[in-house]
Amino acid sequence: MPEPKQISLPIEGMSCASCVGRVDRALNAIDGVEDVSVNLASETARMSVDALKRIPDIIESLRELGYPARKARAELTIAAMSCASCVGRVDKALAAVPGVVEVNVNLASETATVVYVEGLVTTSDLIESSGAAGYPATVATAQAGDDRVARKEEEAQALAKRVTFAAILALPVFLIEMGGHVIPAVHMLIETTIGQQTSWLLQFVLTTIVLFGPGRTFYTKGFPALFRGAPDMNSLVAVGTGAAYLYSVVATFVPSVLPDTLRTVYFEAAAVIVVLILLGRFLEARAKGRTGAAIQKLLGLQARTARVMRDGESVEIEIDALVQGDIVIVRPGERIAVDGEVIEGTSRVDESMLTGEPIPAEKGAGDTVTGGTVNSAGSLQFLATRVGADTTLAQIIRMVEEAQGAKLPIQGLVDRITLWFVPAVMAIAAATVLVWLFFGPDPALTMALVAGVSVLIIACPCAMGLATPTSIMVGTGRAAEMGVLFRKGDALQQLDSVDVVALDKTGTVTEGRPALTDLVLAEGFDRPTTLSKIAAVESLSE
């Protein structure tokens, strides 16, 4: 019989002894739960459970009772995810940690958002679980967006070099082997000059460099994943190209083991497939980097430094060093660092980034100012009331990030499919080989190999897994650039059924700057003369 495990849950909503009694009775009524002790002062419940699998039942029972367990949220940066199947495995590994309530893994942003019960789970547990599944994880920092964009740019540059190098080597292989199908004289030229065996040796050398140089990551990641019983896209490429390569090596160096009709090579298939998959990875990395452009633009609205009063003197400090209650000095033309209340000075502040209104708002003592807006004229001193993650701009950025990382209803279906997609493809490929071997025309082995490799290579689940998250990121990102913010990603999925859009004010749809649209002249005024005088005055305006 397993040893009972002691757990402690923080509980919200308890306000009196009656609440304690209800929680106590509800927990004692759950099978496998014993020795319940509910503490109103610390708002916790301690108990013994016969198995950690009881935790979901406990959490659900408390929720239905109206006293939910206190939850926390963690965002992890996940490495080594290459396809939708990886998303499913990371999701499954994190969800299996006792105390995890909700998991959302995003392939496009390479992140995982995990909601868990405080006290039962730590970020170390989540990192360990993801790492054990083969996907190293770290806690996302405030600079994670910047780091991710920079990392993807570096990755895209590195992949561009690998694609170019692989393509240069694969092109001769492709032309030597396939050129004769377009121009029959090519095969004759090869036979009469270097000979078939020499051409095969040349293809072997070039393809070996391609596979174990630019394409080595497919094998260093694909085969370990396959041996763990969790094959991914890398496994498909590794098995497919590896089969074509090994068959060709046998035909080149040990031809006697094959019938004469089966002595042919497929070096060009292995080399070209690696080049094409690398090209796809390059395009994917570049697209992932660009999806963060909206967040970067919003981050660009944040001031980097602020001038504050310290010990009676004005000093410039980093924005992260600002604390609530600091007196901040803003000069004309400077960006306001954080949210606050004006205590001295008058000015006009451009709040178009927030309200869409083109005319700067008058600000004086007692008025509120928002971080990220621009002080147009005059000097202000204000009391910092919200700093760091509590500012309006920080909340907007966080809202856009959460919308970009949201899992749409349709994505749940995709994830369930792709989790079994790669194993199913490998099973179908094996069945294809067997069918061609026993029922296919001669040369049966060659035809079986080609058919099996074809199934492995064309069945790439990357597009299926990337389509929805990338669409969300690009859609919400582009909308943010245009001043439209989505609180939830699933609002995008529902837009196709929207017939009417209601706007609360004209500022919502303005461009943030005034423009002359009409000119109605009084009696006795000339249009060209009047316009020229208006333009002369406007040219001297700020």
Contacts by 216-221 with C-beta closer than 8 Å and gap 24+?
218/274, 218/277, 221/80, 221/82
Residue in 31, 504, 518, 526 annotated catalytic: 504
Distance CA 25, CA 182 (A): 81
E-strand stretches of 254-333:
305-310, 313-318, 327-330
Would you say 225 and 239 are in contact if contact means Cβ atoms under 8 Å apart? Answer: no
Residue 142 φ then ψ, to 5°: -65, -25
CA–CA gap between residue 193 and residue 206 (Å, rounded): 19
Greatest CA separation for the chain = 105
Give the Cα separation of 319 and 445 in Å (integer): 68
For residues 292 and 297, what is the distance between their CA atoms, to the nearest angstrom? Answer: 9
Measure the CA–CA gap between 339 and 292, rounded to whole angstroms. Answer: 25
Q: Does an H or E element contain 49, and which?
A: strand 44-49
Rounded distance between C-alpha atoms, residue 466 and residue 474, angstroms: 12
Torsion of CA 507, 513, 514, 518, to 10 degrees: -90
Q: Which two tokens stand for residue 198?
A: 């020499």
Q: In what order do the strands lie in the sheet with 33-39?
A: 5-10, 44-49, 33-39
Is the separation of the CB atoms in 395 and 353 below 8 Å? no
Three-class DSSP labels, 433-481: HHHHHHHCCCCHHHHHHHHHHHHHHHCCCHHHHHHHHHHHHHHHHHHHH
Q: Measure the CA–CA gap between 31 and 50, rounded to whole angstroms.
A: 9
The residue behind tokens 């070209």 is 272
Q: Which two tokens stand for residue 395?
A: 């909340």
Rg, Å, the chain Cα set: 32
Three-state secondary-structure class, residue 142: coil
Q: With contact defined as beta carbons under 8 Å apart, do 473 and 408 qualify?
A: no
Distance CA 8, CA 120 (A): 7
Please, what is the angle between helix 462-481 and helix 409-419, to 10°? 160
Q: Is 504 a catalytic residue?
A: yes
Q: Which residue from 286, 281, 294, 284 is spatially nearest to 473, judged by alpha carbons?
A: 294
Active site residues: 504
